[in-house]
Amino acid sequence: MEEEKPSTGPRRILLLTNSEYGQANVFLATSYALLTLQDEDVEVHFASFPRIRSSVIATSEHVRRDRPGARPIVFHTVDGKDMVSAWTRPEIVAEQRALNKRSVVPLVDVVRRTLVLLKVTLPWTGPEFVQIMRSVAGIVDEVQPDITAVDPAFAPALTVLRHLGVKSVILTPNTIKDFAMPLQPNAEPLWKYPCHGTAHMFPLPWRAIPLNVLLIVLSLIVTIIDPHRRALAAYLAANYHRDTKLTTLATLTLNPLALQRAGVRLLVANTPEIEFPLTIARPSHILPCGPILRPVARPLIEADPDLATWLAGGPVVYINLGTHVFYDAAAAAEMAGALRWLLAVYHKGRAESKEKRGGGLRVLWKVPRRGVEVAAGWKKVDGVFGPGGVVERLLGDEVRDGVIRIVEWLEPEPTSVLEAGTVVCAVHHGGANSFLEAVSAGVPQIVLPLWMDTYDFARRAEILGIGRWGNRGAGKLCKSNQLGEILADVVVGERSTVYAAKAKELAELCKKSGGGRVIAARHILAAI
């Protein structure tokens, strides 16, 4: 038999992802890692929708600054409606808003919530889905990749890659738990782990188990009979190819044994050390990478010299609840009251210990931009933060003195703020990126979850001993006295040094072998 000749030239990698940062960030980070590996010759092709193009170009420029001579990332535009545009159409938004109105029958809420979640993760119509599939197929034919890495929430790409038999791996910001639940023995997913999207404690108390079992079974039934998924599958069979098998995120999470048999590999952005305690923590088809984060492109001192100087002045609590959590007057008042509580406890402890050295505790509070106007130095959002507003009444002196800094926008990347060395606590909403950025920076955290998987990240913070769930039982963003006590516990309480030490220990673990982005890049190359 004639020996196969070794391949020459670069290995060609195609990355296929939605353009939303929650999904695309791991692809941007892995792009950087693939092209900066000193012992590899790689050509990266990045296919997505136009809204992510500028970030891909910025990542490519960052690569070439750090490794002169590296190939630029080749961007390919996917034709069609991107995921956000699809799930923000009026009828889907109306369904999401309807979830705020609780039913008198909790099980009705479960059905509605599950159907909306399924629609949000699969928001395309039949014609839109097929348009994207055809575009992806054309890109694959043009690039002829050695391996393709695909976003599990990008259902049109998953479906067409499966149909064409393209060699691929799945790259995801999701966790081991998200994909390994059905593999856990002794029906543990029913009685041990809280149903997705619920605020139950972990481990589940005995009294909550019957309801948890009912909620999970009902969610599974709704997922299996989902009318939108069935209609979409029928459309593909009739209008694309009769043998097309619709493949979605739900397909990947519900049937892991089929994935194992098919040799599918999932690269996830965590490890067993920063995960729930799982009986089967390392299924053979799941490759744990750890946090897959982009490196900081611009140093903090370069991106915002004034903020860098302010951060260097002493310990800082950093509050950033992402772009989807907005403050009305009530929520702002509760948060301001919690900060007032924290500062009172801090200054009392400092006075009792006669501690005078160094700068005092400060707070950096990022408020999402929404109807912003600047008035008398205040960043005003919906009248809540302006002169005479509730926040000024509670924290006016602290804001004027620079103890509390309220901004609607941060020029530096969140990672550079967390890595400044003075952040002693990160307060966030429980998004995967927020959680993993804080873990990687070694910063204790307080999580204020409001929906779906954010509850899991609040639980993780407590399970891992790196922080607290800040609004358990509150029924809203936060309660000032509850969050104030929790802030004091994490920042200045007796256990504050324990939280900090454990956070630093996990950060060191996450940096091993170059960190998650390098590990993911190595796995992708190994799959060739």
Amino acid symbol at 504: K
CATH code of the domain made up of 300-510: 3.40.50.2000
- Please, how many CA atoms are within 13 Å of residue 9, restricted to the half-sphere of its CB? 6
Non-local CB neighbours of 321 within 8 Å, separated by 6+ positions: 366, 368, 427, 428, 429, 448, 477
Arithmetic mean of pLDDT, 308-337: 90
Whether the Cβ atoms of residue 113 and residue 96 lie closer than 8 Å to each other = no
Residue 97: per-residue pLDDT: 63
Residue type, 141: D
DSSP string, 64-87: HHHSTTPPPPEEEEPPS--HHHHH
Listing DSSP states for 438-461 in one string gives HHHHT--EEE---STTHHHHHHHH
Closest CA to 47 of 22, 80, 84, 70: 80
Q: Which region holds residue 493: left if phi is over 0, alpha if psi is between -120 and 50, else beta?
A: beta
Q: Look up residue 72 and give its two tokens.
A: 């630029």
pLDDT at 318 over 60: yes
Reported confidence tier of residue 3, pLDDT bands at 50, 70, 90: very low
DSSP state of 122: S
Smallest CA-to-CA distance from 135 within 16, 264, 11, 13 is with 16
Residue 257 confidence (pLDDT) = 81
CA-based radius of gyration for the chain:
24
Q: What is the pLDDT of residue 357?
A: 54
* Beta strand segments in 176-223, E: none
Q: What's the pLDDT at 102?
A: 59
Scanning the structure block, which residue is given the tokens 């951060």? 311
Higher pLDDT, 353 or 409: 409
Count CB neighbours of 37 within 10 A. 17
Q: Is 402 exposed, middle or buried (0-12, 13-18, 19+ CB in 10 A)?
A: exposed
pLDDT given at position 89:
80
In DSSP terms, which residues pair with 44 in a beta bridge? 13
Q: What is the pLDDT of residues 366-409, one digit of tens each?
A: 987 553 333 333 444 446 776 777 888 888 889 889 999 998 88
Q: Which residues, in sequence order, are CB contacts of 145 under 8 Å at separation 6+?
A: 12, 13, 14, 45, 166
pLDDT single digits (tens) 424-483 = 999 999 999 999 999 999 999 999 998 878 999 999 999 999 999 999 988 889 999 999
What span, in angstroms and rounded, lies between the C-alpha atoms of 216 and 409?
Answer: 39
Query: Do you know the residue count of the chain?
Result: 528
Tell me how far apart the terminal alpha carbons of the chain are, to the nearest angstrom: 22
Residue 257 CB-half CA count within 13 A: 3
Q: What is the pLDDT of residues 231-278, one digit of tens each?
A: 999 999 999 988 999 999 988 888 888 888 888 899 999 999 999 999
Q: Which two structure tokens, joined as six digits, stand for 441? A: 């920076």
pLDDT tens digits, residue range 59-109?
A: 999 999 999 989 999 999 999 999 988 988 877 666 666 555 555 556 777
CATH number of 11-288: 3.40.50
pLDDT tens digit string along 10-26? 999 999 999 998 899 99
Q: What is the pLDDT of residue 499?
A: 98
CA dihedral 273, 278, 279, 284 (to 10 degrees): -70
> Which residue(s) pair with 393 in the sheet?
none
Chain centroid, CA 240 distance in Å = 33
466 CB-contact burial (10 Å; exposed 0-12 / middle 13-18 / buried 19+): buried
Tell me the C-alpha distance between 172 and 174, whole Å: 5
Cβ–Cβ < 8 Å for 155, 130:
no
Q: Which two tokens stand for residue 1?
A: 């038999």
Cα distance between residue 96 and residue 87, in whole Å: 10
Q: How many angstroms separate the Cα of 373 from the Cα of each of 116, 158, 478?
A: 34, 43, 25
Across the range 210-227, mean pLDDT stands at 91
Same fold, 11-288 and 300-510: yes
pTM, rounded to two decimals: 0.90
Percentage of the chain beyond pLDDT 90 is 67
Q: At residue 358, does pLDDT exceed 50?
A: yes
**pLDDT bracket for residue 7 (50, 70, 90):** low
Would you kindly state where each structural domain of the chain is located, as residue ranges? 11-288, 300-510
| Residue closest to 69 by CA, chosen among 35, 39, 46 | 35
Which residue's structure tokens are 């009392």? 348
**Which residue has 């299924």 as its token pair?**
283
